[in-house]
Amino acid sequence: MTPASNPMRVVLVTGPSGAGRSTAINVLEDLGFEAIDNIPLRMIPRLFDGEPVSHPLALGIDVRNRDFSLARLLELHADLVRQTEGNATLLYLDCRPDILLRRYSETRRRHPMAQGETPEIGIAREIDLLRPVESRADILIDTSHLSPHDLKAQLHDWFADETSQRLSVAVQSFSFKRGIPHGVDMVFDCRFLTNPHWEPDLRDKTGLDEAVQTFVATDARLTPFLSRITDLMSFLLPEVDREGKTHVSIGIGCTGGQHRSVVVTERVARTLAEQGWRVSIGHKELARRGLAPAGCIVLPAFGGPEE
């Protein structure tokens, strides 16, 4: 694929069967996207042959396609990011296995990856297959407890009204011991802050607990650190938005990803939401350990982006 002279917007929609891909495709179509579901990967590059497409595209990617492969999907995503000058988004719809099983039980459908076996086997097989895609997603939404209406509202937060503000911001905490998450645009290191891990009463708690938040806040360096991050974002995000980018990912790390980075991530994300940005917040290490939701939480914007 060769770069287009007028970059378009492309959303690749995938996730385990039953997590809401078809609903998402329908919502994006209502938002003005040309929506194509269950398209073979080999066919996607052909959509960009000839004259540049003027409207945004939403493409549903199904693991059941006979030409599906992780390598091909990830390579396709990277190619589209280059071709659209950063306007290609990989949207991953996640869901807890027990919820997926309940949905299949309610519909009495066979799982597409376990035709002659129990749905549990197919669900586990598909989630395991898609795990590398989940880790590369630009936007991850956990639909476990979302109604179709709730999912529609979240998709509207991310993709509606591009003319007023196209940029969405993802802020996530992580553990430096496990490495910097793939795909983050910028990283802030808060390992210099006093570590609650060495306090016996706080060691097993997380940055979501009030006691840990209070402890971290006693470090006099926290307030100027937060001010410098938000000042930088106040300058940078409007400039990125003017460039037509659709997504910025911010990683905030500490040693274990449990205490300090979680506190800082929560505060930075909420400040950006108060400034009017569309913000999602996630905690990578806490989610891995089952201490926080696996998907992102979308925060409501409270005002217009600062200029």
Instruction: Give the model's pLDDT for residue 119.
Output: 75
Q: Residue ranges per domain, the chain?
A: 10-159, 168-299
The pTM of this model reads 0.55
216 contacts 196 by C-beta, under 8 angstroms: yes
- CATH number at 10-159: 3.40.50.300
Q: Which residues of the chain have pLDDT under 70?
A: 1-7, 52-53, 66, 107-110, 113-116, 161-166, 244, 246, 294-307
CA distance 73 to 41: 7
CA distance 273 to 247: 15
Nearest residue to 144 (alpha-carbon basis) of 92, 96, 98, 91? 96
Beta-strand relationship, 247-254 and 168-175: parallel
How many other CB atoms sit within 10 Å of the CB of residue 238? 17
**Interval 54-91: pLDDT, tens:** 788 999 988 777 678 888 888 888 888 888 888 889 99
- The dihedral built from the CA positions of residue 290, 293, 296 and 299, taken in this order, carries a sign that is negative
Q: What is the mean pLDDT of the chain?
A: 85
What is the DSSP secondary-structure string of 90-114? EEEEE--HHHHHHHHHHHTPPPTT-
107 contacts 100 by C-beta, under 8 angstroms: no
User: CA torsion, points 74, 79, 84, 88, in degrees to nearest 10?
Assistant: 0
CA distance 246 to 159: 9
DSSP-derived 3-state class of residue 82: helix
